[in-house]
Structure 1
């Protein structure tokens, strides 16, 4: 259980990842592709260097492999925010979201002014703690 994990950390003096201390729910891959919109927004505002690293990784992947690889699944971000053309295996084209598209989307909506602590969205089934590492 989560209580067991926290007790073991305390017993052996192993600190939790400091990102948990600022409210992150998932930090093993930061940001996790399952991050909530509010987490992406907070990362973009407080840690823009991380967004830049992801942007560079996306560009390097495309340069190296000749195709684009989006950080987030196509269905995560509304279509109107997806700007990067991508050809599927069946030959059809769709737009996917770059990290810049994801950040732009994260700054919209009613909850855009809050932080992830204010976000009432429930965790996906199967992840009861977010302690992925």
Structure 2
């Protein structure tokens, strides 16, 4: 019978407040040697989050943070092969069988898409190119492919090396209805379990854990951000998007460039926008990132636009969590 190595407590570290508090608890309870810390690089993070998760926390906590990234090389090869068959004149029904699509490829449009459909190396953008569009609240495939799958592969590698893996997840029940009924502890197999140590914490408890440990929170929380997982996140609020546009316009420009690229490799006439219409409360006809940003600067249900919004300098500190006091 194979002898088991000791248990490893694997903390999914995102650079956000909850995962940092989870890392602090893991270190306090089990020590650094019994823990592993892993960061899933989605390719859609703010530079401050990269610096916080990969530079500040490793130094402040004296830990090593392993980085995982999704790779879609095989998926690109498959999709390129399918498009090549269509561009050569083979009917789409012969390529995809009985599957029905609202919009059809033609040899001409397939050839144009094939020219641009090459992996960029940015996981988020590559995934959206493959999917022919961006994730949404109802179809939030980004979490699965960019975070859950790479981290699971990382953990399974530890299992294959003989470790018992306890996956520590920094989620809180009051963040969403979906998380409200999650259990504190789940046994997945003889080799792996999930532990959610801060599930019943309030947000004040999270920042108190930072304070007690002498750890600064991600600086983005003082710059109007409610969440720091992606920049921007498809679920960000109207006010948060307005803050992003004012403080970090380069990230809006990046998303606009992504929209243009993805639209050229997806099915003809397919609507392509980072924010799906209605997702943020926006109900206008155009939903490109530029249109959504303009709407985010309005009040009264989008009917009143502030002429001063583009002229106003964002305050030095703006926190939804009272961190500026």
Normalised by the size of structure 2, how large is the TM-score?
A: 0.28
State which structure, 1 or 2, has the greater radius of gyration over its C-alpha atoms: 2
Cα shift at 1:36: 2.2
Cα shift at 1:44: 1.2
The answer to whether the Cα contact below 8 Å between 1:77 and 1:102 also exists between their aligned partners in 2 is no
The separation in 2 between residues aligned to 1:24 and 1:31, in whole angstroms, is 10
Find the counterpart in structure 2 of residue 71 from structure 1: 274
Q: Deviations over 1:28-73 (max 9, x none)?
A: 1222223222221221122110100111121222223344432223
Cα shift at 1:21: 0.9
Cα 1:58–1:14 shift into 2, 3 Å: farther
Aligned residues: 104
The separation in 1 between residues aligned to 2:219 and 2:246, in whole angstroms, is 17
The answer to whether the Cα contact below 8 Å between 1:24 and 1:39 also exists between their aligned partners in 2 is yes
Q: More deviation in 23-32 or 61-70?
A: 61-70
Find the counterpart in structure 2 of residue 56 from structure 1: 257
The separation in 2 between residues aligned to 1:3 and 1:37, in whole angstroms, is 23
Structure 1: gaps of 5 or more residues: 84-96, 120-128
Q: How does 1:48-127 map to 2 (within 5 A)?
A: 48-66=249-267, 67-75=270-278, 76-79=280-283, 81-83=284-286, 97-110=287-300
Find the counterpart in structure 2 of residue 5 from structure 1: 206
RMSD over aligned Cα atoms: 2.9
The separation in 2 between residues aligned to 1:18 and 1:82, in whole angstroms, is 35
The separation in 2 between residues aligned to 1:61 and 1:14, in whole angstroms, is 39
The answer to whether the Cα contact below 8 Å between 2:282 and 2:292 also exists between their aligned partners in 1 is no
Find the counterpart in structure 1 of residue 218 from structure 2: 17
The separation in 2 between residues aligned to 1:70 and 1:77, in whole angstroms, is 15
Cα 1:15–1:65 shift into 2, 3 Å: farther
Runs of 4 or more consecutive aligned structure 1 residues displaced over 4 Å after TM superposition? 110-115
The separation in 2 between residues aligned to 1:14 and 1:60, in whole angstroms, is 40
Find the counterpart in structure 2 of residue 89 from structure 1: none
